[in-house]
Structure 1
Amino acid sequence: MKKICFLLTALAICSSAHAQDIESVLASVAENNKTLIAAQQNLEAKKMAFRSSQPLYNPNVEYDYMKGFPETAGNQQDLLVNQAFDFPTSYGIRKKLAGQLDAQYEFEYLSTRQSVLLEAKTTCLGLIFAKKLDPRIQERKAMTERLLADFEKKLQTGDGNILDVNKARLQLIEINKEYQMNQALIRQLEEKLEGLNGGIPMPFIQKEYATAEVLGSLEDLFAEIQAMDPMMQFYILGNSSAEKQVELTKSLALPKLEAGYRQQAILGQSFQGFHIGTTIPLWENKYQVRQSQQEKTFSSLVLQDYKNERYFTLRQQSEKLEKLGMTLEEYHSVLSALNDIEYLNKALSVGHISTIEYFLESNYFYSAFTNYLKTEHEYQILLAEILRHRL
């Protein structure tokens, strides 16, 4: 029975850590990432912090006992219970401001979430690149090992020479180095992905990039970014909140009110009734309205600066993406028509080319293919950065 329970538990763990594609990886990271969990807690703390800084004033209770002199004058007792209020309009403004700040904090959290998911996505794209490169490296490795074995066999029978053997050995050292580095890169990216997933293992087997998302015109894409980018919305709401803060500061500069109950007892007589009072705002808020107006101007400038920076960055990224796409098409059209390795193998076997010519030509072909994969990877990374607002 214990073995059955253990097996079921193991199956459940394997199921939860089942190999993932990019979309399911992002969903898992969004749920398990420790940075996002902490950011969610920070979000709630910020909401509570604003509300705790804007309470009603504490009620005030005063009691006075005054002994009369001479004794025939009697004793006097005063009791005052009162509550102070801001000018009534401030409460409606404060409520609207609280709602705007809550939304602003939400967008700040979404921006953090977007950054974490972009990091997870680029990690997945890196794994796809490394896994696409791996078969080619292994192909070169196996081919060079066969050549080395053939050269060593010929050397033993007297039909070969030590120069060919040494060239093959040096070539194999370089290929093994490249193979080990690529394997190390895969392990590093898998460990990084596990860390982003809150330390939960998550095998990733996707080996091909998804179909590239369609980009509209620059203006349409920027309009989409303005509507969906959390930081853009954060700054827009920040500007609106600054305007509301000016209203609130002006309202708080108006007289404060007091209302309460007063009782007085003296010479056996008792007096009781309402207490009404006000404060005259002469000095307390003298510069606060001006300060809030300056902060509003600053918020407007920050918003405009972010829009400009985002637009020109997007334009540069779009131009670069277009050029990378053209390069990819050129690579693809040329490489798909080549079969250089098979040709080189035949040429070497019949002695049409030397060993050094063979390795130079094969290295050129594999270098071109590797550069094609790097360009493809760079294209996918840049596309992910452009469309980060969709995460």
Structure 2
Amino acid sequence: MNKYIVSAICGCLFFVNGFSQDKNIGELLNVIEQNNTELKGYQSFIESQQLENKSTNNLPDPQLSGYYLPFGDNVSGNYTEYEISQSFEFPTVYGSRSKWNDLKAIQLQTSYAKKRQEVLLEAKSVLIELAFLRKQKAIESERRTQSKQVFDQVQELYDKEQVGILDLNKAKIAWIQEQFVVQQIESEIQIVLSNLRTLNGGNSIDGFTEVIDLPIEVASVETLWQERLASDPSLQGLKAAETASLQKVKLEKNKVLPNMALGYNYQGVSGSNFSGFYGGLSIPLWNSKNNVKAAEADYEYQQSNTQVITASLYAQFQETYNRYELMLEKYNEYLTTMGNLNSEQLLFKAYMLGEYSFMDYYVELQFYRNASDRMLQMEKEIQLLQAQLLKHTL
């Protein structure tokens, strides 16, 4: 591998602080957040849900009723009556329901934050894929050039009848294969760019510099988990659901209190009339039956659900962290072994000097290329695993 390839593989190894602190990636994620169609639609849905929740705490509509009774056998004149009234729940219910609605609004916001995090994590993963595809294309383009040089040399030797047709065909096939690999990578790049356009609301992604810094390590698993507990919307959503469920218990207990009504009443017959205030009180015998028990049961469920899901998320997080550590350890072993080697370049020089036959050269070359490709793949996998570990920072 020549110096260009070595620098392409190792250029991302030195670090300062976390993955891709280059502002360009952060700017791109901000742009995607603003343009993403799914997030825009979800934001509208949340706003509609919040307004709908607030409407449940409105007063019932006022009621106006009246009577005009001109018919019948009466000597005192026609009878007229009208009444206007306003019914309402016990005043403490509105305060309790308002707090419940506020907590439900927090739930909705955490659900949006979770959706946003999912979209940005997907976008970040696609950007990682794009960066490494472009890096791979640079490497394969250099290999294609090298394969063409080897083919030209074998063609020249064949014309001089110094090698047979089999060596010529193998050299040509190797060159054709490298051409196909480059074309395939170019096709994959276009697919990735199409995915990015979709995430960006149909707009093209421009100005992406694919330099990605690889940190040698992240914080300990417990430190990262505590950070996630404090900021991850999935976990915050569980706590919000639990708190809202507890407030629902308080609301249902308040709804056991009687509803009330106040109003004005007028009655009149042949110039005589009576008017005054109207008051009413409901007796809460049937409507609230079992509602408190149901709310309490739901609160117990939410508590249990929080514990179960948190434990499951921690197990997944720890598994991802272990995979990351193992992958990083193996990657560093590859780096220590191959970092200062220039195996492909040395092999190519040896071949050009006639120290290797084409088949010996090709077999040795494939060994080092496979190791180099595996190293590049491991580097990408480390970045993707790290993105998973640090998704709470998005």
TM normalised by structure 1 equals: 0.91
Pairwise CA distance, 1:358: 0.9
Please tell me whether the aligned partners of residues 62 and 80 of structure 1 are also in contact (alpha carbons under 8 angstroms): yes
Give the Cα–Cα distance (whole angstroms) in 2 for the partners of residues 167 and 143 of structure 1. Answer: 14
Counterpart code for 1:264 = Q
The Cα offsets for residues 284-306 of structure 1, whole Å up to 9 and x where unpaired, read as 22132222222222222222122
User: Which one of 374, 379, 382 corresponds to residue 376 of structure 1?
Assistant: 379
Paired residue for 2:257, among 246, 254, 257? 254
Distance 2:337 2:220 in 1: 29
Deviating more after overlay: 284-293 vs 54-63: 284-293
* Alignment match, 2:50: 47
1:359 Cα shift?
0.9
2:96 to 80, 93, 97: 93
Residue 221 of structure 1: which of 220, 224, 236 is its match? 224
- Whether the aligned pair in 1 keeps the contact of 2:25 and 2:208 (CA below 8 Å) is no
Question: Structure 1 CA distance, aligned partners of 2:301 and 2:74?
Answer: 67
Q: Is the 8 A contact 2:76 2:270 kept in 1?
A: yes
Shift of 1:368: 0.7
Give the deviation of 1:262 after TM superposition.
0.9
How far the C-alpha of 1:213 sits from its partner, in A, is 8.6
- The alignment status of 1:74 with 2:68, answered yes or no, reads no
Shift of 1:58: 1.0
What whole-Å deviation, never above 9, does each CA across 1:114-136 have from its counterpart, x for those lacking one?
A: 11111111111011111111122
* 2-structure distance, mates of 1:40, 1:106: 9
Q: Secondary structure at the match of 1:380?
A: helix
SS at match of 1:206: coil
- Supply the distance in 2 between the matched residues of 1:204 and 1:123 (Cα, whole angstroms): 15
Q: 1:288 to 1:89 in 2, by over 3 A?
A: same
Alignment-mate amino acid for residue 129 of structure 1: F
Does the 8 A contact of 1:239 with 1:296 survive in 2? Answer: yes
Alpha carbons of structure 1 residues 49 and 84: separation in structure 2 relative to 1, 3 Å:
same
Determine helix, strand or coil for the equivalent of 2:203: coil
Bigger Cα displacement from structure 2, 116-125 vs 167-176: 167-176
Which residue is equivalent to 2:190? 187
Who is 1:176 aligned against?
A: 179
Unaligned runs of 5+ in 1: 1-18
Q: Is the 8 A contact 1:20 1:204 kept in 2?
A: no
Amino acid at match of 1:365: Y
CA displacement, residues 31-89 of structure 1 (integer Å, 9 cap, x when unaligned): 11111111111121111111123321111111112346423153322211111110111
State the SS of the aligned residue for 1:258.
strand
Report the secondary structure of 2:187's partner residue: helix
Q: Does 1:354 align with 2:357?
A: yes
- Farther-moved stretch of structure 1 (32-41 vs 336-345): 336-345
Q: Which residue number corresponds to residue 236 of structure 1? A: 239
In 2, Cα distance between equivalents of 1:84 and 1:107: 35
1:337 and 2:340 matched: yes
C-alpha distance in structure 1 between counterparts of 2:159 and 2:50, whole Å:
80
C-alpha separation in 1, matches of 2:157 and 2:222: 66
Query: Which of residues 149, 153, 162 in structure 2 aligns to 1:150?
Result: 153
**Matches of 1:354 and 1:159 in 2, distance apart?**
11
1:202 equivalent in alignment to 2:205: yes
Amino acid at match of 1:135: A
Name the structure 1 match of 2:314. 311
Bigger shift: residues 102-111 or 284-293: 284-293
CA contact (8 A) 1:190 1:203 kept: no
Question: Does the CA-based 8 Å contact 2:137-2:185 persist in structure 1?
Answer: yes
What CA deviation, in whole Å up to 9, does each residue of 1:301-328 have, x standing for no partner?
Answer: 2221221112111111111111111011
Select between 297-306 and 76-85 the one with higher mean Cα deviation: 297-306
Matches within 5 A, 1:98-109: 98-109=101-112
Q: Which residue of the partner structure matches residue 143 of structure 2?
A: 140
Give 3-state SS (helix, strand or coil) of 2:75's partner: helix
Q: Does 1:31 align with 2:34?
A: yes
Instruction: Quote the Cα distance in structure 1 between the aligned partners of 2:268 and 2:260.
Output: 26
Q: 1:272 to 1:205 in 2, by over 3 A?
A: closer
CA distance, structure 1, for counterparts of residue 262 and residue 151 of structure 2: 99
User: Match for residue 267 of structure 2?
Assistant: 264
Aligned partner letter, 2:218: L
* Residue aligning to 2:297: 294
Aligned in 2, Cα 1:309/1:280: closer, same or farther, shift over 3 Å? same
1:160 deviation in Å?
2.2
Hey, what's the Cα distance between the residues in 1 that align with 2:72 and 2:35?
76
Q: Provide the secondary structure at the position in 2 that maps to 1:21.
A: helix
Deviates more, 1:292-301 or 1:26-35: 292-301
Please tell me the residue identity of whatever aligns with 1:93.
S
Structure 1 residue aligned with 2:7: none
Any stretches of 5+ residues in structure 2 without a counterpart? 1-21
Distance 1:260 1:190 in 2: 67
